[in-house]
A and B are shown apart, each in its own frame.
Chain A
């Protein structure tokens, strides 16, 4: 069964460093998302991407965040200068056109030290 794949599963980075989280959505899905979950808290929406552009973003998704779909298969989330409070599990999700359920990857746990 097709699935959303995220790499790495765990990343440790120093405060101020740039990180790139990678996702391979399910092929032929059209909508792509990043969510994050701070430890023990609820899952929060960051950004949605459709037709090669951002379609919606939350107030969490400030200028230090960016997304790209560089080659038609990968979908990346970049954090330019990480802060301690960026430590969280980051989930990628994708959704096919005409459907409402999104399928999530297994997550990347980002730890900023």
Chain B
């Protein structure tokens, strides 16, 4: 079965701290895609990143970075020097069959950044 686990329900940090959001996935497929979406208090879902199963290279985009490790089936997301605007619910999601299936989401991690 395909599954995404985000064990951290809520995280609270003080502004400028670094924070890592964990994501563990399960799939038997060899070609799959992993995603992170951000849901700010306004409610929309904002696409952040996609990573395919053949690309284990870590990615950095500004203050955001992602660590994909197939050996541990994890796709963790780190925010460096967090800001209040980073406060949101963050969802990790999985699509398999070469990305042709609908997304399976984790339960999300609510991040609160306190000034």
Contact = CB atoms under 8 A, between A and B. Distances in A.
Interface residues of A, number: 22
Band of interface residues on B: 20 to 34
B50 interface: yes
A42 B91 contact: yes
Contacts of B101: 56
B45 interface: yes
Q: Which of A33, A43, A105, A106 has the most CB of B within 10 A?
A: A43
A25 to B, nearest CB: 14
B103 A107 contact: no
B44 A105 contact: yes
A100 interface: yes
Contacts of A48: 102
Interface string B47-80: 1001010000000000000000000000000000
Interface of B: 33, 35, 37, 42-47, 50, 52, 91, 93, 95, 98-108
Interface of A: 33, 35, 41-45, 48, 56, 58, 89, 91, 93, 100-107, 109
